[in-house]
Structure 1
Amino acid sequence: MQRLILSILILFPLITVAQEKFTISGYVEDELSGERLIGASVLVDKARGVASNQYGFYSLTLPAGSYGLACRYMGYKPAVKEINLSSDTVVNISLSLGLELKEVQVTASKSGGPRTASSLNYFNPDMETMNRIPAILGEQDLLKAIQFLPGIKGGAENTTGYSVRGGSADQNLILLDGVPVYNVNHLFGFFSVFNSDAIKNVSLYKGGIPARYGGRLSSVLDINMKEGNMQQQHGVLSVSPISARMTYEAPIVKDKAAYIVSFRRTMLDLPMLLYQKLIGLENSAGFNFYDLNAKANWLINPRNRVYLSVYSGRDKQFSKTNRDGINSKYYYKWGNITSVLRWNHQLSSKLFFNTSAYYSQYDLTNLILSKTDERYAKYRASSSLNDLSLTSDMDWYLSPSYTLRMGGKATIMHFAPNIIQTIDDEYETKRNQEDKNTANNLELYAENELTIKKIRANMGLRTVLFDTGEKNYVSVEPRFALKYNADNGLAGNIAFTQMSQFIHLLSNSSLGLPTDLWVGSTDVVTPQKSWQYSAGIEKRFLDYSVGVEAYYKEMENVIRFTEGAVFLSSQNKNWMENINVGQGKAYGAEFMIKKEKGSLTGMLSYTLAWSERQFNEVNQGAWFSYKYDRRHDLSLLGEYQIFKSDWQEKTFSFGFTLQSGNNLSIPDVEYQGLPMPGMEDYLGGIPEWSTVRQTYDNPNNFRMPVFHHLDLGYSTKRIKKQGKSITWTFSVYNVYNRMNPWYYYKDTRGKVKQVSIFPIMPSVSYKYSF
């Protein structure tokens, strides 16, 4: 009974009103493009205030009277208006770019009162600044940039996979316009699928995660695409050694409807294919990837707006050979499709609704075709995940100090992992068809955001029902975050987050081709759970802020793909026979110093962390270090503005990383096994790699040496008339040519050998905006 009463008090507090009040509401937007601004602070008399929500909407309910209304947003000039409040009033605020003193960008949001998480729990990086971070081969990448932040550790060198506070990569919820993205890798993980030219806003939560987010254990990365320019056409053309990008946005009907289209394609395969053709090579091979982002929005009336956004991206590795009368073709393809139709509806000056239907798909296919004049053979292995969801969210601005959010989601997910098909002249065989399954998911949440004088709190509850078809799982997840702001710039916070994860990523322990299998919880494999506690303190003074935060996280039912097992299993096994289920724990402390204003801005961070796992079937049941148990992590990121005027900008940037090495499982024994299904009749003979088997008695038995590198960048932007500009960016990755190990293996004599693939690498990129 006490729990029931507590839940009712958390979810539905009663707000009493003692005098006549009215509401100021509206949208905050960019003056030139009409883009709605997320997280802009709207303050009354420099004290009470709210932040605009994910769609730029804000609402303030106040007693009748005269007020000074101020709006601020990072990188924009503040706007101030005088309001005489005698009835409900709509005030739309337009902000223009430009600040005399530049604020730090790759840090926490400074969007005013509503943020309940500390700066070490929540980050709101600015895309303009992130695009000037030194980048390998001139390709700016969001997922690599956030690895400079405390508590976030990268996987193999220069890859996009990352671990947050001791979790695994699949425990990070990554959203694109509210849609989960199930594969974020291009080029075997060296680049992410996110085109920086199409991104408007990024929010990253590591702790104190609000109840409106769920489905993963470690973090939330919420990415919003640009909406399209409502006022005028605008475009960006970017070229780097890796890819070419083109973004174009324009109004369909001025001030009513707009669209944006962004396309990126790698150019790696073009010179290779041209060279193979010029020399008359009968065999050919190559690799390419592309991304397509498209979004349109229609302002039906001041209270209703509709959005449609689509993303499609795919990688393809291929080869064609003709030898000894045998024609062979090989394809390895993987990619995502996401699409969402969203309706924003302002029911009243206090009530804001968002309803959307989305579809997300991830699939990979490994295809081998081989034929002669007399015989034909085909081998196909595939995996896919389809996610169809309907969501609805409500923001209810009851007062300047209290906002209630509620919502829900209904989801149908279809899993088809490790489906294998073999065909030849005589027979056709399909394996693992029984692994296909459908799961239904229902989620409900309520979230309270309160401000009482110097205290800000976010309290919420999320409830999930997951139906596997054979068993139902129910999860109740309380969330709590509290922050106290003193007058002297000192702030303290505590937070508790309980999360559940009903889908699992089975990832091969070796590095190489992507072999990720998404599977759902079953009647045997139960959902993962986590409990995270954190506490921190932050002090702001002059142009600086200093913060420290400690955390402790417990994890239950974590998944581990059996060492040595591969995606294309040599035995006709169900995927559940190739996994171990156990528990985990992670704890540590994060330190950060930021300089937020002036010509030189930046961040110095240090993380001291432990991450461990335990499985009854592994390591004799004893706890062992997780592969991303990097004890020490030091990062320095900075930018110096050399020159800035109305016609030119010059900046210098630098990034330095020093980390303990990853843990790696080195095989104890290697032997020859049976060939994989379908390879017995492969016309070119059974490949040696398909029969190699390895055993691992001691997990993560090898720690790589200390990892470190220094990157430098220089950017010059020349601003021309009519909004045109040209930007050249020069960067050097790994300035002092540190040969960090990327991978280790055992040679034929049993000796461990190091592989390093990233020496010093200079690059240049070009961007033309019009």
Structure 2
Amino acid sequence: MMVWLSLLLIASALQAGEIRGKVIDGLSGEPLARARVLILGSRQIAETAGEGSFIFQGLAEGQFLLRAETVGYRVEERSIQLGGDPVEIEFRLVPDNLTRRESLEVKADRFEVPQAADSAAWSLTGTELRNLSSVLMDDPLRAAQSLPGVVANNDYYSQFSVFGAAVSQVGIYLDGLLLHAPYHTMQGIRDSGSMSNLNGDMIEDLAVLPAAYPARYGDRAGAVLDVRGREGSRQKRTVRATAGMVHAGVQAESPFARGRGTWLAGVRQSYAQYITRRLTDDTTQAVGFFDAQGRVTYRAGQRHAFTIHGLGGKADYDRETSKQRPGLNTLVDGEFRSNLGRAAWDWSPASRTTVQTQGAWIDERFDNLNRDNLELGTGSYGEWVVQSGVAQAWGAGSILEAGFSARRIRGSGAIRQYNSPTVIRSQDSWNGKAWRQGFFAQNRWSRGPLSLTAGLRGDGMELGVPTAVSPTAGASLRFARGWSVQAGFGQYTQYPDISAITSASGGAWLLAERSSQFLLGIERRFGPSMRFRVEGYQRTERDRIARPGLEGRMVDGRVVLPQFAAPYYNSVRAYARGLNAVLQLRSASRLSGWLSYGYGVARGRDGVLNVHYWSDDDQRHTAGAAMSYRLRPGSMVSGRWAYGSGQPIPGFFRQEASGAYFLAATRNDLRVPSYRRADVRWSQSWIRDRWKFTLYAEVVNLTNHRNLRLASVDSIDPRTGRVSLTFQRVFPIIPAAGIAFEF
């Protein structure tokens, strides 16, 4: 009897089914530990081990629906038919903000930035972008502020400098299109704060190219931020609703035409009173924005893809209910509207050839009113853009790229100041149109461990601005044991803004700004997920545009007051040089992030004033860190830390022992105190059959460090040169929370 019972138990065990498999990151191919796999319709749940593996045993034969999930990634479901033999399955999960596709191309190099060629680049992808965007502001450009080499000591702004380059010299490209002012802000005034109008949930990835970047990037002489938007889901319809402390939004995406097409749309509405009350004593100030974005992509066979993309936004400022009586030249009611439309055609006439052609329209308008509804400023900016590029793979390991762009630019506006409601002084006005053209050609040649890139770019502009030709070159060489070296050189051109070259204070005598950049980097890899990199850079500039007369100063012991409508000049020559060291880890399952330190020197000389000075964006020491770690399948912790030794207070100032400020004969000798900020963030997801709910909690400036900025120069005594300066604290400690609901 016992023998028959044993044989029966053995036979039952042999008939019991088994499902085993792995969960991996769809981009890197790295196993995902601490992910959850469950069999829907049952209570059986498995958590993946360190190598991403899971197993279900003792299952009866039949049909099973399995789901893999973890925080920060999209849910994936697979149907399995289980017979008598064990079944193996692999789940490839993609981050929340990436396009859901039928198939994914696994990147062999986790740190590779394809658009950088042989140039240096620091990128954010997937969960990195979402974690660093902040719950409080949820701004992808603020996420880029944490990258190595980037300096951003003013919490009120999304803009940043790179390797000592001015904010105006950093070009922001969206899908290859140079953007003009992609911010929610108030135009026409010196200080207003800003937030990007790019929706982070609609971005695939972004990368900062700090120096010696490829020839395809034109009309910027400092650095590049390359942003790539994503398509809608190719698998199923998804709706995602979010709400935070500053704004709320809804996003939807879906395939159509049997998967040949996709659409993606999102809207955001701010309610910024929470943060306004934390930062100002005047709680009646109302600052807000609204934006909407949509993208439709259709693939006609294997060779053609068509994209239509639109982005529109509005920022407004309202202080009309304030009990404080504002001055006659104080902004009370302001509005800035921006719109972008883009149509693109991607064509692959052959297996080794791709052509992309796109046309775009940009329109921006602002209006600023004072307490009496009189115009303080009004203006508009617009572009019509046509550009096309081709990439041809030839030989073994060689790629030739070439392209052109034509931009029809227009701009008009005026800035006014009132001595009385009936006495107007025009501070500036501009009105004009111009064509701006550019072309480039670049070839990259790779053989084994060696890669070489050479490029040439030509740019021209109407209104008498000379044509410029700019060469670029790069090289990288890999050695044994994970060592590599990279070198780059480039010359770059940036043309005057239409508001400067057609200004009553400017003129067609303005030249393009020029820069020459060098970069040398040495890198050591420690396996596929860790690297240590040291890079040195130098950038020299000439013909930088400035308005030196706008600043008061002391000359031979006498006070020189600021000019009301100071003229523009190509008066500045400058240089920046330094070193940057970064230890970076990029892992889907383990600790991910980086630790960086940079030392830099940036100096300038104004030929009109004949003064040498520390550049406005000079900062001797910059350090930063970012990290993220998944604690459990539904829980993740992340954080960032930033330190800056302090940038100059722009202007001719000195401070006496009493603490009083006076005009000085030298520029930028005073600095704001050092900047320190640490943010921590926790996210928890709950996933059910048809929906996913995520809770975010964050503390901004955890140590409550008092970071300051220069808000305004209030007055200058024309007899003594005494100056009244207002310094304002930026973000104090701010707790924030947000939610996301997806179905």
TM-score of the superposition, structure 2-length normalised?
A: 0.74
Partner residue of 2:437 out of 434, 439, 442:
442
Do the aligned residues in 2 keep the contact of 1:552 with 1:586 (CA within 8 Å)? yes
* Partner residue, 1:624: 613
* Equivalent runs, 1:707-718 vs 2, <5 Å: 707-718=675-686
Asked if 1:592 is matched to 2:591, the reply is no
Letter in 2 for 1:405: E
Letter in 1 for 2:140: L
Alignment partner of 1:241: what SS?
Answer: coil
User: How far apart, CA to CA, are the structure 2 residues paired with 1:335 and 1:174?
Assistant: 18
The structural deviation recorded for 1:267 is 1.2
Letter in 1 for 2:485: G
Letter in 2 for 1:231: Q
User: How far apart, CA to CA, are the structure 1 residues paired with 2:122 and 2:165?
Assistant: 18
Letter in 2 for 1:181: L
* Partner residue, 1:760: 733
Letter in 2 for 1:340: R
Alignment partner of 2:667: what SS?
Answer: coil
* Partner residue, 2:477: 484
User: How far apart, CA to CA, are the structure 2 residues paired with 1:292 and 1:321?
Assistant: 28
For the structure 1 residues 430 and 400, does the alpha-carbon distance in structure 2 shift closer, same or farther, using more than 3 Å as the test?
farther
* Partner residue, 2:313: 313
For the structure 1 residues 292 and 557, does the alpha-carbon distance in structure 2 shift closer, same or farther, using more than 3 Å as the test?
same
Do the aligned residues in 2 keep the contact of 1:668 with 1:695 (CA within 8 Å)? yes
The structural deviation recorded for 1:661 is 0.8
Do the aligned residues in 2 keep the contact of 1:505 with 1:517 (CA within 8 Å)? yes
Asked if 1:384 is matched to 2:351, the reply is no
What do residues 183-213 of structure 1 show as CA deviations (whole Å, max 9, x unaligned)?
Answer: 2333533532221111122232112311111
Alignment partner of 2:212: what SS?
Answer: coil
Do the aligned residues in 1 keep the contact of 2:506 with 2:569 (CA within 8 Å)? no
* Equivalent runs, 1:625-640 vs 2, <5 Å: 625-640=614-629
User: How far apart, CA to CA, are the structure 2 residues paired with 1:258 and 1:769?
Assistant: 18
Partner residue of 2:544 out of 552, 558, 563:
558
Partner residue of 1:721 out of 678, 689, 696:
689
* Partner residue, 1:44: none
Partner residue of 2:397 out of 398, 401, 404:
401
Partner residue of 1:614 out of 605, 623, 634:
605
Alignment partner of 2:131: what SS?
Answer: coil
* Partner residue, 2:669: 701
* Partner residue, 1:229: 233
User: How far apart, CA to CA, are the structure 2 residues paired with 1:588 and 1:272?
Assistant: 37
State which drifts further: 529-538 or 137-146: 137-146
The structural deviation recorded for 1:361 is 2.6
Do the aligned residues in 2 keep the contact of 1:384 with 1:518 (CA within 8 Å)? no
The structural deviation recorded for 1:758 is 2.2
User: How far apart, CA to CA, are the structure 2 residues paired with 1:162 and 1:587?
Assistant: 17
For the structure 1 residues 548 and 421, does the alpha-carbon distance in structure 2 shift closer, same or farther, using more than 3 Å as the test?
closer
Partner residue of 2:594 out of 569, 590, 603:
603
Alignment partner of 1:232: what SS?
Answer: coil
User: How far apart, CA to CA, are the structure 1 residues paired with 2:450 and 2:729?
Assistant: 50
What do residues 731-759 of structure 1 show as CA deviations (whole Å, max 9, x unaligned)?
Answer: 11111211122337688986766432422
Alignment partner of 1:125: what SS?
Answer: strand
The structural deviation recorded for 1:286 is 2.4
Partner residue of 2:706 out of 739, 742, 753:
739
Letter in 2 for 1:446: A
Alignment partner of 1:170: what SS?
Answer: helix
For the structure 1 residues 261 and 520, does the alpha-carbon distance in structure 2 shift closer, same or farther, using more than 3 Å as the test?
farther
Unaligned runs of 5+ in 1: 1-36, 41-73, 78-93, 100-104, 274-282, 371-376, 508-515, 670-693
Partner residue of 1:533 out of 518, 533, 550:
518
User: How far apart, CA to CA, are the structure 1 residues paired with 2:397 and 2:143?
Assistant: 34
Partner residue of 1:460 out of 435, 439, 455:
455
User: How far apart, CA to CA, are the structure 2 residues paired with 1:546 and 1:613?
Assistant: 32
The structural deviation recorded for 1:717 is 1.8
Asked if 1:545 is matched to 2:531, the reply is yes
Alignment partner of 2:142: what SS?
Answer: helix
* Partner residue, 2:647: 662
The structural deviation recorded for 1:411 is 1.3
User: How far apart, CA to CA, are the structure 1 residues paired with 2:142 and 2:285?
Assistant: 28
Do the aligned residues in 2 keep the contact of 1:435 with 1:574 (CA within 8 Å)? no
User: How far apart, CA to CA, are the structure 1 residues paired with 2:215 and 2:574?
Assistant: 23
Alignment partner of 1:197: what SS?
Answer: helix
Do the aligned residues in 2 keep the contact of 1:605 with 1:636 (CA within 8 Å)? yes
* Equivalent runs, 1:315-394 vs 2, <5 Å: 315-320=315-320, 330-368=332-370, 370=372, 378-394=374-390
What do residues 365-419 of structure 1 show as CA deviations (whole Å, max 9, x unaligned)?
Answer: 212473xxxxxx7435213221111111111111340111111011111122435
User: How far apart, CA to CA, are the structure 1 residues paired with 2:195 and 2:322?
Assistant: 32
User: How far apart, CA to CA, are the structure 2 residues paired with 1:141 and 1:754?
Assistant: 25
User: How far apart, CA to CA, are the structure 2 residues paired with 1:169 and 1:562?
Assistant: 18
The structural deviation recorded for 1:139 is 2.6
The structural deviation recorded for 1:75 is 9.0
The structural deviation recorded for 1:95 is 9.9
What do residues 297-322 of structure 1 show as CA deviations (whole Å, max 9, x unaligned)?
Answer: 12223211211101112211124369
For the structure 1 residues 114 and 438, does the alpha-carbon distance in structure 2 shift closer, same or farther, using more than 3 Å as the test?
closer
User: How far apart, CA to CA, are the structure 2 residues paired with 1:407 and 1:209?
Assistant: 16
* Partner residue, 1:280: none
Alignment: residue pair count: 616
Partner residue of 1:197 out of 198, 201, 218:
201
* Partner residue, 1:162: 160
Letter in 2 for 1:401: G
* Partner residue, 2:302: 302
What do residues 36-70 of structure 1 show as CA deviations (whole Å, max 9, x unaligned)?
Answer: x9999xxxxxxxxxxxxxxxxxxxxxxxxxxxxxx
Do the aligned residues in 2 keep the contact of 1:161 with 1:189 (CA within 8 Å)? no
User: How far apart, CA to CA, are the structure 2 residues paired with 1:505 and 1:166?
Assistant: 24
User: How far apart, CA to CA, are the structure 2 residues paired with 1:738 and 1:420?
Assistant: 38
Do the aligned residues in 2 keep the contact of 1:504 with 1:518 (CA within 8 Å)? no
User: How far apart, CA to CA, are the structure 2 residues paired with 1:622 and 1:419?
Assistant: 29
* Equivalent runs, 1:73-84 vs 2, <5 Å: none
Letter in 1 for 2:378: S
Partner residue of 1:473 out of 463, 466, 479:
466
Task: Say what the alpha-carbon RMSD is for the aligned residues.
Answer: 4.1
Letter in 1 for 2:576: A
The structural deviation recorded for 1:245 is 1.3
* Partner residue, 1:19: none
For the structure 1 residues 258 and 219, does the alpha-carbon distance in structure 2 shift closer, same or farther, using more than 3 Å as the test?
same
TM-score of the superposition, structure 1-length normalised?
A: 0.72
For the structure 1 residues 127 and 581, does the alpha-carbon distance in structure 2 shift closer, same or farther, using more than 3 Å as the test?
farther
Alignment partner of 1:132: what SS?
Answer: helix
User: How far apart, CA to CA, are the structure 1 residues paired with 2:275 and 2:516?
Assistant: 51
Alignment partner of 1:480: what SS?
Answer: strand
The structural deviation recorded for 1:292 is 1.2
Partner residue of 1:264 out of 241, 263, 268:
268
Letter in 2 for 1:385: Y
Do the aligned residues in 2 keep the contact of 1:417 with 1:519 (CA within 8 Å)? no
* Partner residue, 1:682: none
The structural deviation recorded for 1:433 is 9.3
Do the aligned residues in 2 keep the contact of 1:565 with 1:578 (CA within 8 Å)? no
Identity of aligned residues (%): 18
Do the aligned residues in 2 keep the contact of 1:563 with 1:696 (CA within 8 Å)? no
User: How far apart, CA to CA, are the structure 1 residues paired with 2:118 and 2:350?
Assistant: 28
For the structure 1 residues 255 and 521, does the alpha-carbon distance in structure 2 shift closer, same or farther, using more than 3 Å as the test?
farther
Greater radius of gyration (CA): 2
The structural deviation recorded for 1:246 is 1.0
For the structure 1 residues 553 and 750, does the alpha-carbon distance in structure 2 shift closer, same or farther, using more than 3 Å as the test?
closer
The structural deviation recorded for 1:699 is 2.4
User: How far apart, CA to CA, are the structure 2 residues paired with 1:112 and 1:752?
Assistant: 44
For the structure 1 residues 668 and 472, does the alpha-carbon distance in structure 2 shift closer, same or farther, using more than 3 Å as the test?
closer
User: How far apart, CA to CA, are the structure 2 residues paired with 1:476 and 1:520?
Assistant: 28
* Partner residue, 2:49: none
Do the aligned residues in 2 keep the contact of 1:502 with 1:520 (CA within 8 Å)? no
Do the aligned residues in 1 keep the contact of 2:444 with 2:454 (CA within 8 Å)? yes
* Equivalent runs, 1:232-251 vs 2, <5 Å: 232-251=236-255
